[in-house]
Amino acid sequence: MGDKKYPLEFYFLFLISYFLFLTFFASCGSRGDPKPPEPYREVGVVKDLKASRRDDGIYLTWRMPKAKDFPTKAIKGFVILRAEVPQGVRVEDANYLSIDFIVPGKGKVFEYIDKDTRRDKTYAYKIVTMDKNARMSRDSKIAIVIGERAEIEERQVHQPEAPTGLLAVYASKSIILTWDEVSEVRLYRVYRSIVREATEGFVLIGETVTPAFTDRDVEPSKKYYYRVTATGQLEGPSSGVIEVTTEAH
C-alpha cells in the first residue's frame, strides 16, 4: 500500500495548532514568577530623629530613610535602640540595646513612645532600618533626653563670686597680693598686665588655693596691673584691677 497523502491545508492547520500549544504552556509557566526587586546599593538611613520627654514617656519621631535609589517599599521595619547614659559617659560610648521593632505604615513621618523610662535618667536613642532581605542600615544620628536630676544639677553648677578687697604691696623685690576669701572655691587665678586699659592683655601668671599670691617675676621701676578670679566648678567673674609700681633697685 502506498503512503497516504494529506492536503496542504492539513499541514498548515497542524503547524498553527502546534505553535498555539507551545505559546499557551510557555505563558502558563511564567505567569506566577515574581518580578525581581529594584536594585539598591545600601539600606537607607533614618533621618531627622528627635526625642522629647512627655508625661507618658519619651516621644520619638523620625522620617523615612534617605539613600540613593532606595525604594521605600523595600523597608521591612525599624529597630529602636536605647541606652541609659550614666553621668560622665559619652553617648557614643553608652551600651545600646534593642527595645522594639516598628513596622512602617503609611506616611513619611513615624513616631514611637518609650513608656519604660524614668524621669531622673538620661537616655539616648538611635534607629536602624531593616529591609525585606534582613539587611540593616547604618545607625541614625543619636537623639538625647536629659534626666531631670541632671538638668537640676546643671542649673545648680556653682559659680563663685568675684574676689573683693584686693591689695598689693611691693617688698623684697616682689609684689605680694592679698584679697578676701571667697566661699566654696577650689582655687584662685591671678592675672597680670602692663597696660591697665588693655583687658585682653591680662595673662594668667599663677594659681593658688589661699587668698594670697607673691609675684617674684617683676622688674624695677615698672607699673603692673593685677586682677584675680575664684574658681569652683566654673571660673567666676574678675575682681577689680589694682595697680602697683615697683621701686628702683
Cell of 226: 593685677
CATH of 45-155, one of 3.40.50.970, 3.40.50.150, 3.90.1150.10, 2.60.40.10: 2.60.40.10
- Of 24 and 42, the one with more pLDDT: 42
- Cα separation, 95 vs 5, in Å, equals 88
Cell of 219: 622688674
Beta bridge partners of 159: none
Write the single-letter amino acid at 53. R
Cell of 166: 584686693
Q: Do domains 45-155 and 167-245 have the same CATH topology?
A: yes
172 pLDDT exceeds 80? yes
Q: Cα-flanking dihedrals φ and ψ of residue 17, to 5°?
A: -65, -40
The CATH architecture that domain 167-245 belongs to is Sandwich (2.60)
pLDDT in the model for residue 6: 56
pLDDT in the model for residue 18: 60
Domain extents for the chain? Answer: 45-155, 167-245
In a 13 Å sphere around the CA of 162, the CA atoms on its Cβ side amount to 9
Mean pLDDT of 226-230: 94
pLDDT in the model for residue 26: 54
- Looking at the chain, the whole-number percentage of residues with pLDDT higher than 90 is 46
- At 91-150, the pLDDT tens digits run 888 899 999 999 988 778 899 999 999 988 899 999 999 999 999 999 999 999 988 775
